[in-house]
Amino acid sequence: MGKNVNFNFRERVDQSALSKPLFSRLDKDIPSSIVVFLVALPLCLGIALASGAPLVSGLISGIIGGIVIGSVSHSSVSVSGPAASLTAVVLASIASLGSFEVFLMAVVLGGVFQFILGILKAGLIADYMPSNIIKGLLAAIGIILIIAQLPYAIGFIEDSGANFGSRDNMFEQVAAMFKNFFYSLHPGAVVLSLISLVIIIFWEKSPLKNFKLLPPSLIVVILGVFLNLLFKYIAPVLHLGEKYLVNIPEIDRVSELITFPDFTSITNPDVWGVAITITLIASIASLLAIEAADEIDPHKRKTPPNRELVAQGVGNTIAGLVGGIPLTSVIVRSSVNINAGAETKLSTILHGIFLLLSVLFLSSILNLIPLSSLAVILLVVGYKLASWDVISTMYKKGWNQFIPFVVTVVAIILTDLLIGIFIGSLVSIFFLLRSNYHNAFFIENTKIFKGETIRLELSNEVSFFNKASIKNSLWNVPQNSNLIIDATFASYIDHDILEIFEDFKTTFAEENNINVSIIGLKDKYSAGKELDFVREDIEESKEKSTPQEILEYLKDGNSRYVDGKLVSRRLRNKELMDFINSPPLATVVNCIDLREPLNVMMNTGIGDLIPIRAAGNLVDSHIIKSIEIASKQQGARFILIMGNSSNKIYLEALKEYMKNGYQEPDSLIAEALKAKQIPVTFEEKDLHTYADLITRWSIKESQRRIIKQNPYLKERIAQGKLGLATAFFNRENGKIEFSELYDPAMVS
């Protein structure tokens, strides 16, 4: 139901929740931005390489993803940049369009299209992505990170950056890694990885966790540089050469960074086709990524999806204009950002600034960082995303959550992100339809009428997806039963369902002596006279119900109320008339202090109960006369005298009695005092206890007066044609304590 909240209001709430001052957590954001920068740097290079684009284009996209998208987006933790999900598209598009400059024109158009989607509020698709698919995405990314970074952690690499972010031929890569393991690993990389892993794992378990200025990930990178320089002099066999280190191309001038698109290609239909492809894939990937990032955000902040599309559109437009490859929000970078402790989007923006500065001024320094140190950071992030705790938690949620989760993980690993998400979503939809099989209606069995009575209440929307479950339930209704199909709550009923009702009524129900009544059908669902409410048969059945059956019905109804299994109804005047034209079941006498709806508390049908209210629970001659009329003229077959806890009427009377010095009690409590139900004097702390005692005495006294003062009611009760009982409603737990049915033979 939360999906129906006004969107503009939700956007307003979400933004206020994300509006931490940008510079309020510098102690967290600066260190985390450095860690994200160090991880993003080789990823930008690797994805550009895998995409067949100039290496510098990946760096340009990383800079824009941090500075531009980070500034425009309302996400506090999401980090954007070139993504592996678009590598195949970029590679194929550059080849098909003939040049990188023509491809950049498609990137510009794709960004404009994304911006328009955000303005049109197309981001709502993110709200309908099942959580098990999001968790499957995260777990798959975690497994992919572990597999992809293991070669770097052990020094099994041939090119610095070729495998970052790329998942092509992943299993061939793993097979080759193990095949050549013993003679291809680099001892220096293994030593640095083990040291880095120990630091990250035990950092939070040591007093060092109180040192918040630098996160363990940054310590690992700094230590990796220092140890590798030390290895060069004291243990050359452990020293890592250039191919095991970060490799940033040197840029002498800013102009060398920029490549302009070929604007003359804007009329090329192929360019527009590529632009639409980029728009769809980048938008879906970004929406999935922000959902996943929000899922692992410790503060569980909600990113406005439409604003994110606008931000991504602005970023991709600028990237295309200056020579960058397409951008998305990227869960790997976002996970590292969150894991490093980022609190605001300043971390994202700073990481983009650091990328820019590093390209211009710090390439020689950054090229000293061992790839194994960065790999360990990603290995830990990957494990957290795909840990055994995550898997076991999903398993405990049941097969309908666990199977789509597993399918999503496997599908993403074997194919790619979007295809895997699509396959996982199909499986999730299957289980959604399967759950619809059980949720189309609520079945209520009672013994209120002669024979078995079954109420089948339809849910808010009943579509053709529910055909199987409804048909199966109807064709299992026992013989000689009364069936009420209650459609008053349904706002939509598929025509196929109406045909099932008609077929059931005219065939199976007639052959098995099942009395079918259909109530609450809206005019536009009317299927003809065959579906009219058969009121006369139900009225006859009600009149044959016994007082004991009515009492059990009320008890069962309150039990369902306490358990939250209410039969909810939305009624128009026409449907109300259908209910109140049927005879009532019971008359309920209660105090005006009891404002809780009786038919909800006892889960009865509309019009089943006639409430008679007065100040206090003691009946007088007028109330007793009203009970007689309800029984004699309206057909009520049961009388219930019900009190309630914490009765404000009695509490106020007791307070006034205390205020008057325990003199001249109000008439509401005078008889209880005279009957010595409570002490003559008492303390204020005991008021609730004594109010409840007066209530319990009053309902019993009222029962006695009804029998004593009204010969008609007394005779009907003695004959067993009219039931009488008392009840006490406990406001703290919602339970009603019913007495046994009044039996004149047991009264002395």
Residue 727's closest CA among 644, 648, 668, 671? 644
Helix, strand, or coil here: 304?
coil
Contact 457, 567 (CB under 8 A): yes
Instruction: Dig out the tokens for 647 from the structure.
Output: 């009765």
Residue 729: its H or E element: strand 723-729
Contact 331, 141 (CB under 8 A): yes
Handedness of CA 145, 147, 151, 154 (dihedral sign): positive
Helix, strand, or coil here: 723?
strand
**44 labelled as ligand-binding?**
no
Contact 82, 325 (CB under 8 A): yes
Q: Between vectors from CA 437 to CA 435 and to CA 442, what angle results, nearest 5°?
A: 100
Distance CA(340)–CA(548), nearest Å, equals: 67
Contact 443, 471 (CB under 8 A): no
Distance CA(586)–CA(723), nearest Å, equals: 9
**593 labelled as ligand-binding?**
yes
* Cβ partners under 8 Å of residue 463, min gap 6: 436, 492, 494, 497
Distance CA(83)–CA(74), nearest Å, equals: 20
Distance CA(446)–CA(553), nearest Å, equals: 7
* Cβ partners under 8 Å of residue 510, min gap 6: none
Can you say whether residue 5 is alpha, beta or left, with left for phi > 0 and alpha for psi between -120 and 50 degrees?
beta
Contact 78, 329 (CB under 8 A): yes
Distance CA(561)–CA(599), nearest Å, equals: 10
**CA 145 from chain center: how many Å?**
27
Handedness of CA 304, 307, 309, 311 (dihedral sign): negative
Distance CA(498)–CA(437), nearest Å, equals: 17
Distance CA(220)–CA(230), nearest Å, equals: 15
Distance CA(112)–CA(312), nearest Å, equals: 9
Instruction: Dig out the tokens for 154 from the structure.
Output: 């052990």
Instruction: Dig out the tokens for 292 from the structure.
Output: 């996943």
Strands 515-519 and 586-591: unpaired
Residues facing residue 371 across a β-bridge: none
Contact 488, 575 (CB under 8 A): yes
Can you say whether residue 299 is alpha, beta or left, with left for phi > 0 and alpha for psi between -120 and 50 degrees?
alpha
Contact 521, 531 (CB under 8 A): yes
Residue showing tokens 């959550």? 401
Helix, strand, or coil here: 638?
strand
Helix, strand, or coil here: 733?
coil
Distance CA(122)–CA(434), nearest Å, equals: 28
Contact 15, 74 (CB under 8 A): yes
Q: Which residues are annotated as a binding site?
A: 591, 593
Q: Which residues are annotated as a binding site for Zn(2+)?
A: 591, 593
